[in-house]
Structures are given as structure tokens and as C-alpha cells.
Structure 1
Amino acid sequence: MSEYSPGHTLIETQQLKQEVPGREGPLVILGGIDLQISAGETVAIVGASGSGKTTLLGMLAGLDTPSSGAVLIDGLDLTTMNEERRALVRGEKVGFVFQNFQLLPSLTAVENVMLSLEVRGEADARTKALSWLGRVGLNDRASHYPQQLSGGEQQRVAVARAFASQAPILFADEPTGNLDTETGRKVADLLFELNEAEGTTLVLVTHDDRLAQRCRRQLRMEAGRLNEASV
């Protein structure tokens, strides 16, 4: 369970901006976003393609750096850090579920889950990874490689890997986007069940309004701006 009290601000941005050069001047991807997310919240970021959703998620996770402004994770300003230091913070504070799974093809399911545990220096990483695969219903697929797994199974491995890190924050970028409707529903059910059990702060990007409605808070991106939304 989360070590943070519910009112604790775990994610914060201050005038977060991202601009890229364009033919007619700078193209604004993120236009000065101020955001606070407290421990234990479930937050969906919705919006049209190209509105800046995935860019914002990458900034929050410390995967990308902004043109200006600040991103604070548990009070630590990622924008003042070099990549090595950001990677350390990500390893301690952040789990990530990607739309395209991002499993290493040369590793088995259990070895992919073990990675997040080994980064944290966990003892007996294999036993713990097998336990997490059991929680996502993949006991019998632990020794299979990603190419031997269906899309839904690969995403369940990715979910197990994200939660196994025991990070207080879980980011998910279109976690059901590459799955058929029924498989996507099952993965979403699993994601929310584990999130509730672990007390994680969940921030997800999605085009699926039904998935967004399962979060307690919805934010809409429009032309690089972020607003509270009803979906």
C-alpha cells in the first residue's frame, strides 16, 4: 500500500511549456500547464490526437524535458536534473505501462518483470516476479517470450512489471489502445484492481471515454491546454 497520505501532492507542474520550431514560428505543444495530483488519485487525460496528451505524460514521467517550467515528483524537480539523476528518480517513483507493451523480445515474461525488481536491488527477484505474474493470471506463461504471447498477455506482463516496481506512481499511455474491446476491458479491470489494492497514484492517457470514466478525475487536453473535463 502507498506510504503517502491522500492529501500529499505527489505530482506537480509549474508553467510547463513545450515548443518546437515551425515554419511560421514556434509550435506550442504544451502551453504553460499548472497541475497538481495527490497521492492515491486516479486521473485520466483525454483529448484529440495531437492535443499534447502523450507529450505531457512523458514530461510527468521524466522521459522528456520541457522547453521551460518545472515538473516535481514528490517534491523533486526533474527539470533541474541530468538524465542519470532523472533515471534514478524514475526507478524509485514511477512505473509505466505503454500502448505497445515495450517488452524486451529476448527476455521471457518472468525476466521482463524481473527487470524492474533488479533495478531496485530487490532480493529474490525471480520469486517476486513469478508472484506478480500469478496476480495477472500468467503463471503458465512465465517462460514464454513476448512473440509467443497474445497482445493481451503481453500487456498483462507489462502491467505486472509496472506494479512489481512498487513505485508510488503509475503512468499508462493508451494501455488498451492496441487491444480488441473485450481484451482491453479485461486489462483495464486488472489495472484498476491492482491499483486499488496497491494504493498507487494512477495517471493514464486514453481516447476511450469509458476507460476515462473509471478514473475519479478527468482532464482534457485541447491545443496544449489542460482543463477539468466531463467525459
Structure 2
Amino acid sequence: MTTQTDLMIQTKDLKQEVPNREGALVILKGINMAIYAGESVAIVGVSGSGKSTLLGMLAGLDTPSGGQVMIDGRDLTAMDEEGRALLRGEKVSFVFQNFQLLPSLTALENVMLPLEVKGLNQPEQKAKQWLERVGLADRITHYPQQLSGGEQQRVAVARAFASEASILFADEPTGNLDTVTGEKIADLLFSLNKEQNATLVLVTHDHQLASRCDRQFEMSAGELVEVTQ
């Protein structure tokens, strides 16, 4: 059973507005949500509903027009960019729809890089172990352009979990994959997340994928409502 001390992510009246010719485009309308340590949470909604904007706010990639984002009791919105970057490096990993692998680095080097930045011990050994875990032991010297979409996403998943982050943000992680490959990546993502006891926040338009999470929220026209499963 979760308690208030397990609170990992919290937003308080989170707002985002962008000026336009008509005055302001309201993207987020006072979002209040709480996500607890070890939970898997899905944010669903159609394109343009504001879900990716919300994810960027939760991760400290963007700053809101108003309200607060708290990560493990620390106020992201009170920090400067350097402070947010330090907190992300300490607490957060990402899996993106378009993989975000560096094309000039091999699979092994792509997984090693954030480990080296964080100063973790034995980055090469750890990266190899995680690539083996995701079924790519024979592909570690391959570059992204030599890998299929599913293989690239496996590298991205290995990179995310190898960094030992307590929060994993996944933005449409199966969006660029065929159905069969997408299901395999989802299986991998949920099994590793359960094993690591990380907090998973998943943005998707795929309701079947979202249904595998502990809780679901639906974003519509900048408003967020928890879905009763």
C-alpha cells in the first residue's frame, strides 16, 4: 500500500499557455496529479491533447506557465536549467518513439554514454549485460542504421534501465513499430520495470498498451482525468 512518503511525482495546478494572435493558446489547464514510487501510469489521449507537453513538464524538459512539478519532494519549477538537468541525470531515464540513438555510436557505446556521464562503475560491462538482457548480445558493435526499428528500441530500453534511474518516462515507445514488435517491446518494458521497481510514466494513444499500467489518465483539451479501469 502506498503512502504519502512514497510520492514520486506530483503536480499542483500545472498550466501551460502559449501566446498567439488571439491572445493565448491554453495547452494545460491546471493539472493536478500524484504518481507513487514503483507505479506504472499511462497518459492517453489523441494527438494535440497535451499529453506530450505534460510529459515534458514532468521531466523538467520544459517550464510551465504556472503551477508546480515536484519530483521526489523537490520542486522542479523552482530550479534553473542546470538544477533541472542535474535532477534529471540523478532520477530520470527516457524511452522515445524515435529511439534517439546517436548514429555515430555503436549499440554498446549508446548504452555506455549515459553511464559514463553519471560516473557509474564499469560502464562497458554494465552496458554489455543490459544489451544481453534485451536480446542483443550479437549486435553490440552495430550502428543504429544497421539495426531494425525493434532492435533500436531494445537498445533504447537497455540504455534507460542501465542508468539505474528511479523514474522512466516513455513517449509512444511502440509508436514506430509494427504490432508484433511493439508487443515484444512492451513485454520487455513492463517486465524490466517490475524487476527494477522503477516508476514508469507512459504516454501513448494505444489503449491496449495503457491498460497494462497500474493506472490510466486521459488527457483531453488540456485537462486530465483518471480513468477507472
How far did residue 6 of structure 1 move?
Answer: 4.3
Matched AA of 2:174: T
| Equivalent residue number for residue 159 of structure 1 | 157
Q: Separation in 2 of the partners of 1:150 and 1:90?
A: 29
How far did residue 65 of structure 1 move?
Answer: 0.7
Q: Separation in 2 of the partners of 1:225 and 1:161?
A: 32
Matches within 5 A, 1:115-154: 115-154=113-152
| Equivalent residue number for residue 210 of structure 1 | 208
How far did residue 77 of structure 1 move?
Answer: 0.8
What SS is found at the alignment partner of 1:203?
A: strand
Counting aligned pairs with the same residue, the percent is 71
Q: Separation in 1 of the partners of 2:186 and 2:50?
A: 23
Q: Separation in 2 of the partners of 1:83 and 1:21?
A: 22
Matched AA of 1:109: A
| Equivalent residue number for residue 30 of structure 2 | 32
Matches within 5 A, 1:1-231: 6-7=2-3, 8-230=6-228
Name the count of aligned residue pairs.
Answer: 227
The runs of 5 or more residues in structure 1 that have no matched partner are none
How far did residue 110 of structure 1 move?
Answer: 0.6
What SS is found at the alignment partner of 2:54?
A: helix
How far did residue 56 of structure 1 move?
Answer: 0.2
Q: Separation in 2 of the partners of 1:82 and 1:118?
A: 24
How far did residue 211 of structure 1 move?
Answer: 0.2
Q: Separation in 2 of the partners of 1:19 and 1:212?
A: 27
> Is 1:169–1:202's contact at 8 Å kept on the other side of the alignment?
yes
How far did residue 82 of structure 1 move?
Answer: 1.1
Q: Separation in 2 of the partners of 1:57 and 1:176?
A: 16
Q: Separation in 1 of the partners of 2:72 and 2:167?
A: 10
**Runs of 4+ in structure 1 over 3 Å off:** none
How far did residue 230 of structure 1 move?
Answer: 4.5
Q: Separation in 1 of the partners of 2:191 and 2:183?
A: 12
Matched AA of 1:174: E
**1:112-142: CA deviations, max 9, x gaps?**
0011211210121000000000110000000
Matched AA of 2:24: P
> Is 1:6–1:40's contact at 8 Å kept on the other side of the alignment?
no
Q: Separation in 1 of the partners of 2:86 and 2:159?
A: 17
Q: Separation in 2 of the partners of 1:161 and 1:125?
A: 11
Matched AA of 2:118: R
| Superposition CA RMSD, Å | 1.1
Of residues 116-125 and 5-14 in structure 1, the stretch that sits farther from structure 2 once superposed is 5-14
Matched AA of 1:45: I
Matched AA of 1:104: L
What SS is found at the alignment partner of 2:98?
A: coil
What SS is found at the alignment partner of 1:11?
A: strand
Q: Separation in 1 of the partners of 2:20 and 2:212?
A: 37
Q: Separation in 2 of the partners of 1:210 and 1:33?
A: 24
Cα 1:120/1:6, change in 2 over 3 Å: farther
Query: Please, what TM-score do these two structures have when normalized by structure 1?
Result: 0.96
